[in-house]
């Protein structure tokens, strides 16, 4: 009984002392004292540090694996736990709070994980977060060869079970290049208003790309694929990218070249993207002054020199830098990556960008077709091919005879839940648009005839004078 009483008294003293220390000693000093005591009294232990971001600002993949792995290891002895849940996650996620620890057992030896979060100091824009892996140094070989491999494998299983796609954009913080948000784009190949044969060709190409790891290795090429989506606005380029991401379960990195200051930053952008991802560079024709070089040669020497000088001052990302980024030595820094370029004007691009190996597959995102209209009618109104609406024939005839984008058709179909009302509205819209186009053609033809008549008149007068 006396032993139990002594132990209880000692425990109470320790807890009281700890409480006083937490109130009096600043947090940063407590961390320093803890580290000192660890190194002094437990010199047989070894510590691995897993920081959230690497020195070049990219997110550390090991950190992500540890965060996932420890979800199942947090027990009732952990005093403070952070909870989180995304819309697509089936269960609540658990993670360690600051200064909390978890003990894990692997092959009859123990390791300890500790989460550390350091608040930003003067001049720093964000806090620093990392995990410490603490274990006896005699187990170093097993930790490196077996334990960490087990952590990666378990994290992969957890991630595949609750895959949440993300879209990454350029970060405003200096310590990291990208910041992310959940990608919840509903587009799929089934809902795309494209010709069935075109969709199948794209899906087959994506399937072949994913399966050809050994092929790319054998031929000595980087495991990547480039796509060019070209066509007028409103033809579904962004929807196709969303469908590709959902089909492959790849994250998207949205890169605006105008936010990149030089070729070094461009390389950094590539290095900080993850494998199994889609890098999107939209409106490549107007993001940079990298249009067709032959067109530049047609300018006068004075105008060309002035234009190039101005461009260099405003933007130092060069065409050669971009080419090396997508098809040079730096392009091999990563696997299973897809690069998608979009443009409204394919003819403005330099031919060097268009060749295979850079933009392997060129996809023309054209105006709406009859089959595209049927897909949209099914998406918005639930009308199936087996029971077409009486207005279908007239609508299809108008769509095939004019240039109207899928976005314009979709805009009319979503006006009403009543199929007849929506289709009647679309039919009226198409008739008005056709009339407007016909009037423009008549006006253009009239202007052309009038111009021709005036030129003939001037020619005759000049002939009479001479």
Phi, psi for 170 (deg, rounded to 5): -60, 130
Q: How far apart are the first and last CA of the chain?
A: 133
Lowest mean pLDDT among 51-60, 177-186, 397-406: 51-60
- Which pLDDT score is estimated for 149? 93
Is 225 or 464 the better-scoring residue by pLDDT?
225
For domain 179-364, the CATH superfamily is P-loop containing nucleotide triphosphate hydrolases (3.40.50.300)
- Which pLDDT score is estimated for 419? 92
Q: pLDDT-derived band of residue 300, with 50, 70 and 90 as boundaries?
A: very low
- Which pLDDT score is estimated for 331? 62
- Reply yes or no on whether the pLDDT at 386 is more than 60: yes
Is 313 or 288 the better-scoring residue by pLDDT?
288
Is 447 or 365 the better-scoring residue by pLDDT?
365
Q: Are 365 and 229 in contact (CB under 8 A)?
A: yes
- Which pLDDT score is estimated for 286? 74
Measured from the Cβ of residue 192, the count of other Cβ atoms closer than 10 Å reads 22
Strands 337-343 and 277-281: parallel
- At 137-160, the pLDDT tens digits run 999 999 999 999 999 988 888 777
pTM confidence score = 0.66
Is 448 or 87 the better-scoring residue by pLDDT?
448
C-alpha span between 85 and 208 (Å, rounded): 35
C-alpha span between 341 and 227 (Å, rounded): 6
Across the beta sheet with 101-106, the strand order is 45-51, 128-136, 109-118, 101-106
C-alpha span between 336 and 197 (Å, rounded): 25
C-alpha span between 299 and 122 (Å, rounded): 51
Domain ranges for the chain? 17-164, 179-364, 386-465
- At 389-441, the pLDDT tens digits run 889 999 999 999 999 999 999 999 999 999 999 999 999 999 999 999 888 88
């Amino acid at each position: 009984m006396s032993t139990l009483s002594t132990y209880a008294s000692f425990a109470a003293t320790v807890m009281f002392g700890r409480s006083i220390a937490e109130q009096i000693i600043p947090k940063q000093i407590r961390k320093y004292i803890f580290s000192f005591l660890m190194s002094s009294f437990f010199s047989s232990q070894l510590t691995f540090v897993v920081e959230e971001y690497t020195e070049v600002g990219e997110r550390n993949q090991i950190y992500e694996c540890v965060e996932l792995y420890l979800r199942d290891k947090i027990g009732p002895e952990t005093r403070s736990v952070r909870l989180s849940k995304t819309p697509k996650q089936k269960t609540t996620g658990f993670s360690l709070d600051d200064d909390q620890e978890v003990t894990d057992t692997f092959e009859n030896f123990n390791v300890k994980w500790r989460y550390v979060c350091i608040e930003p100091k003067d001049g720093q824009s964000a806090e620093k977060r990392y995990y410490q892996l603490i274990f006896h140094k005699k187990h170093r070989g097993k930790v490196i060869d077996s334990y960490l491999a087990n952590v990666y494998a378990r994290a992969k299983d957890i991630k595949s079970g609750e895959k949440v796609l993300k879209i990454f954009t350029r970060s405003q913080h200096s310590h990291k290049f990208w910041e992310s948000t959940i990608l919840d784009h509903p587009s799929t190949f089934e809902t795309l208003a494209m010709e069935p044969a075109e969709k199948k060709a794209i899906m087959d190409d994506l399937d072949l790309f994913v399966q050809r790891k050994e092929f790319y290795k054998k031929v000595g090429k980087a495991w990547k694929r480039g796509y060019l989506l070209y066509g007028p606005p409103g033809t579904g380029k962004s929807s196709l990218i969303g469908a590709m991401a959902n089909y492959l379960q790849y994250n998207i990195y949205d890169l605006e070249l105008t936010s990149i200051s030089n070729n070094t930053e461009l390389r950094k952008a590539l290095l900080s993207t993850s494998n199994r991802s889609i890098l999107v560079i939209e409106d490549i024709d107007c993001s940079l002054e990298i249009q067709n070089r032959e067109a530049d040669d047609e300018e006068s020497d004075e105008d060309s020199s002035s234009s190039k000088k101005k461009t260099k001052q405003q933007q130092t990302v060069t065409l050669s830098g971009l080419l090396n980024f997508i098809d040079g030595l730096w392009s091999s820094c990563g696997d299973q990556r897809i690069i998608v370029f979009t443009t409204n004007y394919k003819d403005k691009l330099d031919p060097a960008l268009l060749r295979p190996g850079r933009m392997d597959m060129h996809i023309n995102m054209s105006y709406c077709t009859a089959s595209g209209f049927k897909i949209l009618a099914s998406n918005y109104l639930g009308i199936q091919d087996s029971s077409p609406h009486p207005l279908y024939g007239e609508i299809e005839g108008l769509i095939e005879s004019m240039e109207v984008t899928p976005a314009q058709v979709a805009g009319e179909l979503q006006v009403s839940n009543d199929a007849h009302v929506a289709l009647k509205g679309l039919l009226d819209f198409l008739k008005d648009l056709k009339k407007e186009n016909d009037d423009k053609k008549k006006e253009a033809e009239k202007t052309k005839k009038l111009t021709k008549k005036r030129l003939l008149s001037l020619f005759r007068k000049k002939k009479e004078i001479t």
